[in-house]
Amino acid sequence: MSETAPIVVLGGGGRIGSELLGGLRRARVPLRGFARKELDIASRPAVARALCEVRPRLVINAAGYSNVDEAECDRARAERENAHGPAILAAQTAAEGIALIHLSTSYIFNGRKGRAYCEDDPVCPISVYGATKASGEDAVRSANSRHIILRTAGVFGASIDCFPKTVLRMADSGHPIYAAIDLRGSPTPVDHLVSAILAVVGALESGSARWGTYNLAGAIGASRYELAKAVLTARERALGVRTALISAMRMDFGSKARRPRNAELDSTLFASTFGAAPGPWNEATETFVESYYRSFTLPVARSRTR
């Protein structure tokens, strides 16, 4: 890869895309980010034009339809953005000899495995979101051999919408908090995810990367209940205010989409290949809670006196 050609990030207006753009900018990587209004990944002419104009050395696709419940009611849109778009990107990047990093999800699995999922476990989605993401993976694998698919899960950070932030918002508004004990995943701190993707970029540049599909998620698993509990404990330490947490089952929420009861990912392969991987979520919750409250005009010190 020529180090002077830019890296293109798609989905730059999204949660992960915007954090990734920030991380790459801080690493002084030549860069071009596209939000949806600037480039629709499901439009072949628009993708071809952008690649021809920018001539990137690498494309990172963080675009997609990520609303798991809404996708159940809008399969056409989920297919367009999660399957058709990646198929176009893979074909167009392959035609130009450009490598592609594509983000995927643990929701391609059915959740029945008793342990964390490995890369070669059978894919068996149970939601429209999961099915369309699995099709997107297939399309990338078959059209561009120079691909790296990164399956991530439960990404959280103070600057992005995520489950731990919903827990804090509800706690702040005095609502009772219910969290499922039978929904497990691998919560992933967004800054750890960005550092790991930077490691992939470095490996591609040094020619030491191995193409393929990798799990890339937090080092240890947790149920939604365990994660909410840790977030509320950190909040109590920061603000001195206790909030009740009520354990629930996933069916109590009446969500439109089925979610895998175990969506834990084993990221060992990624760690041994790229020498970096996200750490455990529990070590990041305190910092997450502190940054969340720092981002308001409500400083932690002042709120302690309430």
CA distances for 234 relative to 85, 148, 210, 241, angstroms: 40, 36, 39, 10
3-state secondary structure of 155: strand
Nearer to ligand NAP, 126 or 239 (CB): 126
Nearer to ligand NAP, 63 or 209 (CB): 63
Least distance (Å) from ligand NAP to the CB of residue 155?
A: 4
Nearer to ligand NAP, 143 or 238 (CB): 143
User: How distant is the alpha carbon of residue 216 from its chain centre?
Assistant: 9
3-state secondary structure of 118: coil
Nearer to ligand NAP, 162 or 239 (CB): 162
Per the listing, tokens 């919750």 go with 285
Measured distance CA(236)–CA(73) in Å, rounded: 38
Least distance (Å) from ligand NAP to the CB of residue 227?
A: 12
**Active-site hit among 65, 117, 129, 225:** 129
Task: List, in sequence order, every beta strand (DSSP E) within 57-112.
Answer: 58-61, 99-105
Closest by alpha carbon to 65, among 36, 31, 94?
36
Least distance (Å) from ligand NAP to the CB of residue 207?
A: 26
**Could you confirm whether 214 is annotated as catalytic?**
no
Q: What are the residues binding ligand NAP (CB under 6 A)?
A: 10-11, 13-17, 36, 39-42, 62-66, 81, 85, 103, 105, 133, 152-155
Least distance (Å) from ligand NAP to the CB of residue 17?
A: 6
As annotated, the active-site residues are 129
